[in-house]
Structure 1
Amino acid sequence: MENWNLINHTMVSLDGRNSGNVFWWYIIVFSMSSYAIGKIVNYTAQVAPSFQDFENISITGFSSTPRSDDKDRDIVAEFLDQVEKHEQHKENCTPGTKFNLGEGVIQQYGINKFKRQALVAVNRANLLTRLWKEAPKEVLDSEYLLYAQVRNFVEGDPEIFAAGNCYDYMEYKNYYLFCPYAHRTEDGAINVKDLSIEYDYLGNDSEWFYTARMKASKLENFNYTIGTTQMRLNQTLHAETTIDKVITVTYNDGHWSKPYFDCGGGFIWMMTYTVPFFGTTYNGLNYTFKFKGTSGIDIALQKVDIDQCPLPEGSTETNVFAGSARCKEATTKCVPIPGLGFRRGSYKCVCKDGFYFPYTNSFNKYFNGTDVENEYAKFRRGEVNYYTESFECLPCAPGCDTCEDRSPCILTLNWIQRSLTLGVSCLIMCCIPLLILFTYQYKNVKVLKAASPVLLRIILLGAFFLYCPLIVGYFNASVITCILRFWFREIGFSISYGALLLKTWRISVVFRVRSAQRVKISDTDLIKRLLLVIFVFVAYLTARTIAGTPTVIEGKHVNGLKAFQCSSDWWDHSSAIAELLFLFWGIRLCIVVRKAPSEFNESRFISWAIYNETLLSLFLNVSMIFLQDPFPTNPDLMYLVIFIHTQLTTTVTLAFLFGSKAYLVYKYTDKEDSHQQTTMLSKGSKQKYTHKPSAGFGSINASVNNSSCNYNYSDRVDDAECESLLEKDIQEEFRRLYTQLELLKQRNMKIGNRHLQHKLSAMTEAAKKEDTPNSTPTTPNMNGKRVVINLDHFKESTEL
C-alpha cells in the first residue's frame, strides 16, 4: 500500500509539472513497480516464522471486547507475550508501524495521562505553520534548526521518548520525504536522525501520519487567528504594521495512534500523538493553506499503564484490558495503580464496603495486583498456589458500613437486663386475669357492685394494652415494632383512663344535683361514651400510621457505636399533648368530687391514680426529649425508663383500684356463708367506711345521698333491692334522731325548761305514733311507696 501511494504521489507531481512527457512517465512507473516487488521479496525472506504468527494475531486476532465476556481467556497475558516476542525479534522486523495492538489498547491511555506532552507537539505545529508562511528562505532551509528543535523537545521532558517533524511528499526542498526525528537510546542518550531514511511513512499503515493528513484535508475544520505584526525598522522606529492571519491547530485536532512497534525508529512499542501543520501559497492577493506535514511525540508503551479494572458503569471507552483484573469480586474491588507501566498487575484489590483486610497489622490495607496475577498464573498452570485460599477480605460485624477489624459497630443490647425487665412485666400482666376472675367471683359484694364490675374489667383490658409496649420494645427497633408500640399505648390509655375519667364524671354529675330527684347514669351510658373516646383515638392512630409512618433512625451513641430507635416527630408530640389535656380534664373532675360522699373511698383512689399518671407522663415526655435529641441514647436505658413509667402509672393505678377492694372482701367476708358476705359488707364498719352525718333531720337526706343506690354504679342492682337498702338506712337515721330527742328532753328537764319539755314529748309521741290509713303520710317515701319507721325497738336504748 505504501508503494502504491508513492506511485500515486509521483504521478500527480509529474502530471502537474510536465504532463506531456510520456517517456518519463513510463520510466517512473517501471521503477516503482520494481521497487515494490523487491520490497515484498525482501520482507518475505527476512521475517521469522514466529514473527509471522505475531502478525496474524496482532492485526486480526484481538478485538476491543472486554475480558468479562470470556472468563477463561487471559487477554493481558496474550498481549504481553506478543509484545515480548516482537521485542526479541526486533532485528528481523520490517521498517514501519504495521504491527499494532488493535483498537482495544488505545487513546484513553494517552488522553488521560499525556495531554501535557501532546500540547508540546501542538505548539510546535503552530510555530511551523507560521514559519512556512513568512520566514526567510535561509531559515526554512536550515535543517540544523529542525534537528535541534526536536532534540530540545526530548531533552525537556523525560516522559517523551521521541519527537518528530515529518514532511509530506516533496514538501521540503527536493527531498522525497524528510522527517527530523529525535529519540532516546538504551543507554539514555538522545539520537537525532532523518526518520524517512529508515522507512516510507506515506502509506496508510503509518497511522500516525495518514490520519493527520486525512484530517488536514478539511481546512474548514480548523481555526484562524488574526493579529498584527510590527517589525523593527531602525533603532527608533517600527516598520509598517501588517495583518497576520494564520491557520492554527488545537489538541483536539491531533490524533493518538494505536500502540505499535516502531521498527526503524525507536525499535520499541510506543504510542504517537500527531497534529498537522500547514504550508502556504501566495497568489498575489492572499495566502492559501495546504497540508505540509505533522508534528508529533512518541510515548514509550512502558510509560503507559494497563488498566485491568472494570470500566465504570455507563462508560463508552474502548479498553480491551478492562475487567481482566483477578480480584475476588465478592469481597474486593479493583483500583488502578498509576505509574507501573505496560505490565500486568498495575492495580490493587481493596476491600469493598462491609469487609475488612484480614491482616489488620499491615500498613497497606490491600492485595497487590502483581501478587494476585502471579498466583493466578500458577493456578492456571496447575502449580502449587494460594490464589484460591487467599486474597479475600473478611466481613465486618453486622451493621458496619466500613470497618478495619471485627469490632462491633452497633451498640450491643443488654439482653439480660431487658429479659429481667420483661419477665417482671409479664409477671405483673399475669395478675390481670386473676383480677378479672376476682370481679366475677365477688360481683355480688357491695364494694364491687358500687364500683361497677363491668367498668373494672374494661379498665383491666386497657391496662393489658398499656403493658404490651414493653413486650414489643424488647426486640430491636423496626417499623413494625414502632407502629405496634404507639398503637398499644394509645389504645390502652384511651380504654383504661377513659373509663376512670368517665366514672369520675358520673360521680361529679350526681354530686352536683341539688334536688331530691333520683339521678341514674348506667354503665351502658358510660360505655357508649367510652366507645366514642376510643373511636377518636383509633382515627388518630390510623391517620398517623398512613400519613406519618414511623421510621427507625440511626445515630451515634456516646461511645461511637450505632444506636437505633423509633423516630419521634410532631405526631408523637401531638399525641402526648392530647393525653395531657385529657388528664387535665380528669384533674378538674377530681377536684369537683373531692368532697363527694363515698362509702368505699373509690373516687379518692381514682383521683390519686389520675394525679399520678399526669405528673409521671409529663416527666416522661420531657425526659424523652433529652434522651432522643440530638442522637439516640442507650436503648436499654430508654427501655428501662418506659418500664419504670409503666409500673409507676398502670401498676399503681391497679393497686389503688383493686387493693382496697380485695382488702375489704378478705377482711369482712365469711367465705363459708355467701349470704352473710353480702349482709356484713352491706353494713360494713360504720365508723370507718361510712360517712357519719350530723344530728338533726338533715341527716336523713345526707344518709340517702350517701347510699350507693342514689348514684347507682351497677345495672345489676334492681329497684327492690335498692329500696330495701334505703329502708334500712332510713330506719337507722330515725333511730339516731329518736336518741337525740330523748337526750335533749332529759337535759331540759334538769335545767327546768318544762315548756320545751312538753314540746319534745309531743315530738317523740308523734314519731312513735302510727299513721292512720286516711291520713297524709308523714314518714319518708321512695318512688311513691311510704316507708314505715318503727321506733319501738329503740325505746330501751334511749332511756338514761
Structure 2
Amino acid sequence: MKYHLLSEAKKALEYVNRVENSKCTGGTEDVLNLVFNTTVWKAYTDAAIRTANILSSFIQIHGDLNQQEEDFFYTLVRNNVHGDTLIIGSAIALEPGLFNSYPRYCPYALKENGTVKAFDIAVNYNYLTTSTEWYNVVRSKDFTAATIKTDLITYNESSATLTEVEFDQPTAKYNDGHWTFPYFDCGGGNIWMVTYSSPIFYIDTNRSILFRGVATIDIELTNVDINQCDLEEGATKGALDVFRGTHNCQATTKCVPLLGQGFRRGAYLCECQRGFYYPVDSPVRAYSGYEIETYVDKYFQQVEIPFRCVRCARGCDSCVDATPCLYPLDIGIRLFVVLFTIIMIIGCGVVSLLIFKYKHEMVMKTASPIFLHLMCFGAILMCCQIFIAYLEPTDILCMIEIWPLHLGFSVMFGALIIKTWRISVIFGVGSVKRVNLPDSALLKRLLPLIFVFILLITIWTGTNPPRVEILTLTNSLKFYSCSVTWCNYTMYGIEALLLLFGVYLCFTVRKAPAHFNESKHITWAVYNAIILGSFIIILTQFMSESGGPDILYLLLLAQLQVFITITIALIFIPKFWAIRNGTRPEVNNGAVTTITGRVKSQMPTTVSNMRADVRSIAVQTDDITLEMPLTPSNSFKTSKYSSKVSPLLEVPANNYTNPEHVNELETTNDKTPDKIV
C-alpha cells in the first residue's frame, strides 16, 4: 500500500513537471488525483463559508440576487483575498437565472503582484461543465440534512409596538463544502492551486434545501513547497505530505528540503549521511535534487544513480574528506614487542627444561621443582596477553584478554608465595614440633587460590566484562581500547593483597637461614612485583588517553618485564649459578646467614661445645630430607630463630661430604633428634 502511494505521488510530480513545461490552453482540467491533508488549511475556509451564508440569506429573503449590483459581488470576493494569508483567489459562482444580468455569472478576485484583480471568469470559462470539480461536486451533493437556523429579527418600524420576526435560513458548515484535488488553473491564475467550495442554499416552499451556487477560496500551491523528503517521527504534518518519501537520494545521503522553492519537483538537497563525505570540491557539499530528478528522467532506471557519498576513513564519526581519524599503529614497535615476548616465552621454556635436567641437584630439590615449573607456566600464560592485545580490540577479545594475565599471575606468584609460606611455617613453630609440608601438601593449598582467581575472572566476564571503547588523543586521533571498569581495579586490589601477604611472609622469614639464598630472592621478587608493578599499572591508567596505543603496548611489555623477567631472573639465576659453581649451603665460620644477608651468632668450633640438647632441622620435599643440627636456645643472642637453627660446623668431614647423607648425622647425646619437616 505504501509503495503504491509513493508510486502515485511520483507520477503526480512528473505530471506537475509536464504541465508547467507545456502550453496553457485554458480551463482547470489538469488535476492531480491525490488525496491531500487539507486540515492545515481549514482556518482559511471561513471566508468562503461566511460569503456563502450571506448570499443564502439574501436569496432566502428575495428569492434571487437580481436586486444586487455587480459591485456587491466583487466587494465580497475582493474582501476574501485581502490580507496576508495563503488565499490567492475567491469566487462566487451562481446557478443560471439567479442573477439575470448574465446567463452565467462568476465574479472572481485574484491576488497578483501586490494588488487584487477582479473579473468575471465566466466570460471565457464555462464552470457549469461536469469537469469543473470545484462546482459540480458540490452541486451533486445531497443537502437534505443541511442545517437550518431560525433567527429572531426585530425591525425598527414606526409603529409603537416592535415585534420579533422569525427568519429561517439554511446555513453551510465546513463539512458541507468540498476540497478539490490540486489543479493547474489555466486562464485564471495560471498557477497550481487547490479550491474549497462552500454551497449557497435556498429553502423552497416545501422546506426543501436547494443548491444555488458556491462561494470559493483558492489556496495557491505555487508558493507551497513540495517536500519530497521522508516524514520524520514527531514532525509537523503538512498538506502536501503525500509527496513525502518521493525523493531520489541514495543510501549514503539524506534528503533535506529546500524552502521557498514552491510547487515544483526536486526542491531538496541530498546531503551526505553521518560517516560519509561529499567527494566533489564544491561550495555546496550536497547533491541538487533538481539535477537528480533530471538525471532520473533522462535515464529512468537504465543506469545506476551515481549521486553517492564516500564513506569516511575508518573510525571517523563524521568527516569532510578522506583524512584518517584512527591513530596509525607503528608496526615496528608492535613487532618488537611481539618478538621480545616470544623470546620471553622461549626463555621460560628453556628455564623449565633446565629445571627438569637438574631436578636431582640439591639446589633444585630444596626449591621444589614442581613449583618452579608452575612459575614458568604462569609466566608463559601472562605473556599470552601480548598476542591478544596485538589484534584490534573487539568485545570478545577484551573479554579473553583478562584471562591469561590474571590467571597467569595467580599461578606464578601463588607458587612463589606458597613456597615462602612454607619457610614461614617451618621457622615460626616451636623447636620441638614437627611440621610436615611436602610439595603435595603445598599443591593442595595452591589449587584453591587458583580456583578463587578463576571464579573471580568468571564473575567479571559474566557480569561486567570490558568492552571496546574509542579513546581520543589530544591531536583528535582515535584508537580502540578495552574499557577499564571497577572490576579491573577490584582485581588489581586482590592481587595487591596477595602480594602484600607475600611481603608479610618475607618479613617473617627475614632472619631464617638462607640456604642457597632462596628466601632472600623470593623476598626481592615480591617487593619488586608490588612496587614496580603498581607503578607500571598506575602509569598505564594515566597514559591511556594521552600516550596512544603504541605507548600502551610498550607499557604492557614493561609490566610483563616487572612481573616475569625480573622475578624469573631473581629466582633462577642464583640457582643456575650455584649449580655451575657447585655451591653448597652457606656456612660462614660457624655463623648463620639470614635471607637479608646478615651473619648471625658465631658458634663454637668443637663438638664438645654442642653437648647441650641438639636438634635438627630439615628442608623437606617429596623425595629428600636435608637435616641440619640445632644448637641450644642460649647459643644465639640476637635472633628469634636462634633456638632452632644452627649451621653444620663441627660435623666430621666424612659425614658431610655428600649433602644427601646429612640426614645420617647423629647428635652427641643419646636422644633421637627431633625434626622440623
Shorter-chain TM range is: 0.7 to 0.9
Q: What corresponds to 2:17 in structure 1?
A: 80
Deviation per residue, 1:93-144 (Å, 9 max, x gap): 6x5x3442323xx525x777xx4xx644423523653675599989993541
Contact 2:590-2:649 at 8 Å conserved across structures: no
Distance 2:290 2:385 in 1: 58
User: Displacement, 1:69?
Assistant: 9.8
Q: Normalising by the residue count of structure 1, what TM-score does the alignment of the two structures yield? A: 0.66
Distance 1:536 1:189 in 2: 90
1:681 is the counterpart of 2:558: no
Deviation per residue, 1:715-735 (Å, 9 max, x gap): 122x5xx46999xx9984357
1:259 is the counterpart of 2:167: no
**From 460, 475, 481, the counterpart of 1:559:** 475
User: Displacement, 1:662?
Assistant: 2.0
1:541 is the counterpart of 2:457: yes
**From 31, 34, 41, the counterpart of 1:100:** 31
Q: What corresponds to 2:107 in structure 1?
A: 180
User: Displacement, 1:325?
Assistant: 4.7
RMSD of aligned alpha carbons? 4.9
Contact 2:51-2:76 at 8 Å conserved across structures: no
User: Displacement, 1:303?
Assistant: 4.0
Letter in 2 for 1:548: N
Distance 1:271 1:592, change over 3 A: same
User: Displacement, 1:257?
Assistant: 1.9
Q: What corresponds to 1:347 in structure 2?
A: 268
Distance 1:271 1:253, change over 3 A: farther
Q: What corresponds to 2:650 in structure 1?
A: 733
**From 586, 598, 603, the counterpart of 1:695:** 603
What does 1:598-747 align with in structure 2 at a 5 Å threshold?
A: 598-620=514-536, 622-623=538-539, 626-627=542-543, 634-666=548-580, 668-669=581-582, 681=584, 694-695=602-603, 710-712=618-620, 714-717=621-624, 722=626, 732-733=649-650
User: Displacement, 1:464?
Assistant: 1.3
Contact 1:254-1:273 at 8 Å conserved across structures: no
Contact 1:224-1:248 at 8 Å conserved across structures: no
Contact 2:270-2:287 at 8 Å conserved across structures: yes
Q: Normalising by the residue count of structure 2, what TM-score does the alignment of the two structures yield? A: 0.77
**From 418, 435, 441, the counterpart of 2:334:** 418
What does 1:385-404 align with in structure 2 at a 5 Å threshold?
A: 391-404=307-320
Contact 2:514-2:586 at 8 Å conserved across structures: no
Distance 1:550 1:99, change over 3 A: same
Letter in 2 for 1:101: L
Where does structure 1 lack aligned partners over 5 or more consecutive residues? 1-62, 234-238, 670-679, 737-770, 785-800
What does 1:59-208 align with in structure 2 at a 5 Å threshold?
A: 65=4, 77=14, 80-81=17-18, 84-85=21-22, 87-88=23-24, 90=25, 97-103=28-34, 106-107=35-36, 115=41, 119-126=43-50, 129=53, 133=57, 141-154=68-81, 156-157=83-84, 160-167=87-94, 178-183=105-110, 190-201=116-127, 205-208=131-134
**From 359, 371, 374, the counterpart of 2:280:** 359
Letter in 1 for 2:557: F
Distance 2:154 2:412 in 1: 102
Distance 1:663 1:198, change over 3 A: same
Distance 1:443 1:205, change over 3 A: same
User: Displacement, 1:466?
Assistant: 1.7
User: Displacement, 1:180?
Assistant: 2.3
Q: Aligned residues: percent identity?
A: 31
**From 467, 484, 492, the counterpart of 1:576:** 492
Distance 1:182 1:279 in 2: 22
Letter in 2 for 1:270: W
Distance 1:288 1:650, change over 3 A: farther
* Aligned residue pair count: 627
Distance 1:506 1:155 in 2: 104
Distance 1:189 1:364, change over 3 A: same
Deviation per residue, 1:197-241 (Å, 9 max, x gap): 555545653322345567783868x99999x999999xxxxx99x
- For residue 131 of structure 2, give the secondary structure of its aligned residue in structure 1: coil
Distance 1:169 1:632 in 2: 88
User: Displacement, 1:471?
Assistant: 2.1
Contact 2:382-2:409 at 8 Å conserved across structures: yes
Deviation per residue, 1:340-384 (Å, 9 max, x gap): 344443332322332211123x211112233334455555699xx
- For residue 564 of structure 1, give the secondary structure of its aligned residue in structure 2: strand
Distance 1:487 1:457 in 2: 20
Letter in 2 for 1:148: T
Deviation per residue, 1:494-515 (Å, 9 max, x gap): 1111111111111111101213
- For residue 391 of structure 1, give the secondary structure of its aligned residue in structure 2: coil
- For residue 601 of structure 1, give the secondary structure of its aligned residue in structure 2: helix
- Choose between structure 1 and 2: higher strand proportion: 2
Where does structure 2 lack aligned partners over 5 or more consecutive residues? 158-162, 595-599, 631-645, 654-665
Which structure has the greater CA radius of gyration?
1
Contact 1:154-1:182 at 8 Å conserved across structures: yes
1:407 is the counterpart of 2:323: yes
Contact 1:270-1:298 at 8 Å conserved across structures: no
Distance 1:624 1:224, change over 3 A: farther
Q: What corresponds to 1:23 in structure 2?
A: none
Distance 1:541 1:200 in 2: 88
User: Displacement, 1:528?
Assistant: 1.3
User: Displacement, 1:493?
Assistant: 1.3
Q: What corresponds to 1:672 in structure 2?
A: none
Deviation per residue, 1:558-616 (Å, 9 max, x gap): 22233322122232222222222222222222221111222122112112222222234
Distance 1:599 1:129 in 2: 119
Contact 1:128-1:278 at 8 Å conserved across structures: yes
Contact 2:180-2:194 at 8 Å conserved across structures: yes
1:368 is the counterpart of 2:288: yes
Q: What corresponds to 1:337 in structure 2?
A: 258
Distance 2:481 2:579 in 1: 45
- Choose between structure 1 and 2: higher helix proportion: 1
